[in-house]
Amino acid sequence: MKNLLLFFCVCLVLFSCEEKTPSTPKDLAKEFLIPKPDSLLATGSSFRLTKKTQIVIQDEFLELRTVGIFLANKLQPATGFKLPISLYSEVESGNNIIYLSSDLNNDQLGVEGYELIIEENHIKLQGNSAAGIFRGVQTLLQLLPETIEKKSLQTGPWEIASGIIVDFPSYEYRGAMIDVSRHFFGVEKVKEYIDHLARYKMNYLHIHLTDDQGWRIEIKKWPNLTNHGGSTQVGGGKGGFFTQEDYKKIVKYAADRFITIVPEIDLPGHTNAALASYAELNCDGKAQKLYTGMEVGFSTLCTRNENTYEFVDDVIKELVEITPGPYIHIGGDESHSTKQEDYIYFVDRVQDIVKKYGKQMMGWDDITEGSLNSNSVAQHWAKTDNAKKAVGQNVKIVMSPASKAYLDMKYDSTTTLGLNWAGFIEVDSGYIWNPATLINGVKKENILGVECPLWTETVTNLDELEYLVFPRLLGYAEIGWTKQENRNWEDYKVRLGNQQARLEALGINYYPSKLVPWTKPTEKGVKLKD
C-alpha cells in the first residue's frame, strides 16, 4: 500500500513539473508587428500555448465561434494541438485560456479595434465586435514563432510575450485589388490572396472582373459574356471565368475573414470583351473581335443606346444579388473613345441604376466628371484635379495613386516583371507617403481609405503575383491601419526585415529589396520560377 501511495505521489510531482514548466520571459516591446499597434505595454513574461490550452468565447456572443474556429484551425497544423472551443459558462478553471469577448463597448476602438491582454496564465482578447476580435487574432498569431505558419508539425515551445496592446485602424477602408481580367486567377488563388490580406488586417478586396481582354463573371441573362468574352486573356490562352456559385464561395470565404468583396464591372470603356460577345452593344450593330493585347482606351459602349442601359441594369442586378457588401465598382477609367458629354450622361445614369438596387457606386476618379451623389466613392489613381472634384461634391475618396500604390509597377529598372508607366516603386517609396497630405485640398476627413491595385497584364501565375505584391503589401496595410504619427521608414524597415522568416514559412515569393535589413542573407533572393 505504501509503495502504491509513493508511486502516485511521484506521478503527481512529475505531472506538476510538466504542467508548470516555466515559460521563457519575452519582451513584447521587441516584437516586430505589422501593422504597428496604436499602443503597447510590455510586462516581461510570457504565455505558453500547450495542448491543454482552451479557446473560450463569451456565452452571449456566439458569432465569435467563427473566430475561435479560425484560430484553432490556424494553430493546429504546426503545433499538433487540437484546441477545444468552449463557452465561458462551461469552463471551470481560468488557467491556460484564450478568452474572446466582444462586449467591450469602447468607442475609441470602433468596429475593428481590439484590446489584447496577455498574462502568464491566460490571454484575454476583447473588442466591440467579432471583426475586432479577428483583427486581434492576427496580432496574436504574429506574436507566435514564425513556424506557426507552417502546414506541417513543428517543434515549440509556443510562447507569446506578455503585455497589453490597444489597437484600432486609422482608416475605415483598407483594401487591395486583383485584376482577373487581363489574366484569369481562379477561386483557390483568390482565396489565397484573401488570406494574405487578412493576415495584415486589410478588410476589402476589389476584384476587377471585366476588361477588354476578358469577362470573368457569369451573368445568366447574358451568357455569351463568359462563354465567348471569357475565353481568352492577354497573350492568348484559355482565359476563364467565375460562375455565380464560384463568386459566392469567394464572398463567403472573405466574409469569414471579415473582408468585404468589391466587384468591378469596368464601363463604358474597357469593354471589348462585352462588345465581342453581343453585337447589339455596338453602335454599328457589329460584334468586335476578341482582344488579347495590352492597349487601353479604344473601346466604348454605345452610351446613347437604350439597349446599353438594359444590359447594364441586368448586369448590376445579378451582381447585387450575390454581393452583400455596400459597393459596386463601375470602373469608368480611360474611356478615351467616349465623347465627354456621352461619358457624363453614362456615369449619371449608371449611378442611378446602382442606387436603385440599394448599393453605393464606386469608380475610378474619372467619374468625378459626372454629377455624383454623396453616397458614391471616387477612387483616386491619376488626376489630382479629379480628387479635388470629389471633395467639391462631398464624395469620399479611396486613395490609390498609381505612382505610389500600384503593385504592378516595377521596383526599379532591373525588375523584369511589371510595368513602369507610373514610375518605379521601391519598397520605401511605396511606404513613405501620407494619404491625408498627398493632394493639396484633400484632407483625412475626405478619405475613406487606401487601396493597392494589382493589374495583371504581365502577371500570369501566383508566383509572379506574390513577387510584385510582397513585401509592398505590408506597407500599404500599415498605411491604412497605423496612425501617421506612429509611422516612419527607419522603424518600419526593421520590422519588415524581421518578417522575412514568416514570409518564407508561408512560402511567399517576395522581392528581397536591398533597402530592407533582412534578418538573413538575401543574395540569392527569392527568384521567379521558370
Residues 6 or more apart whose Cβ sits within 8 Å of residue 502: 142, 146, 149
The active-site residue, picked from 120, 280, 334, 369, is: 334
Q: At what angle do helices 489-497 and 472-481 cross, to 10 degrees?
A: 130
Task: Annotate 213-233 with three-state secondary structure.
Answer: CEECECCCCCCHHHHCCCCCC
Residues 6+ apart with CB under 8 A from 177: 205, 206, 207, 208, 264, 400, 451, 452, 453, 454
φ, ψ of residue 504 in degrees (nearest 5): -75, -35
C-alpha grid cell for residue 523?
A: 543574395
**328: exposed, middle or buried (C-beta count within 10 Å: 0-12, 13-18, 19+)?**
buried
Alpha carbon distance 188, 387 (integer Å): 35
* 295 is known as an active-site residue: no
User: How many residues comprise the chain?
Assistant: 530
Which CA distances in Å does 200 have to 58, 194, 257, 272, 489?
Answer: 25, 10, 11, 36, 18
Q: Which residues contact 131 (CB under 8 A, 6 or more apart)?
A: 111, 112, 203, 258
Catalytic positions are 334
